Amino acid sequence: MNVTDLFPALRNLPRIDKLKVMQFLVLELAKEENPSLEQGATYEIWSPLNSHEAAHQLAQLLEEDKLTKNA
C-alpha cells in the first residue's frame, strides 16, 4: 500500500482515530531524529548567563533595530 492509497482511508476515519494516527506518526518521526537523546544521560547545555559578549551583541542588535525603525 502506498501513501496515496492511505489518504482516502484516513479521510474517512473519525476525528479521534485521526488524532491517534497523527500521534503515531509524530512519535515515529521523533524516533528517527538525529541525534537521539538517551534516557538518563547527562547533556551539557550552553547558556548565555554571565556571557558579557552575548549581552553586548544583543544590545548592539537592539540599537541597530531601533535606529532602523526611526529612520
User: Quick one: pLDDT at residue 14?
Assistant: 96
Cβ atoms 21, 13 nearer than 8 A: yes
Q: Which residues contact 43 (CB under 8 A, 6 or more apart)?
A: 37
Distance CA(13)–CA(29), nearest Å, equals: 21
* Distance set, CA 1 to CA 4, 5, 7, 9, 67 (Å): 8, 6, 11, 11, 58
User: Quick one: pLDDT at residue 61?
Assistant: 95
Residue owning grid cell 497523527: 22
pLDDT in tens, 10-49: 999 999 999 999 999 999 998 888 767 788 999 888 887 7
| Least confidently predicted of 1-10, 34-43, 49-58 | 34-43
Structurally, the chain folds into a number of domains equal to 1
30, part of any domain:
yes
User: Quick one: pLDDT at residue 22?
Assistant: 97
Residue 20 structural domain = 1-35
29, part of any domain:
yes
Distance CA(26)–CA(44), nearest Å, equals: 26
41, part of any domain:
no
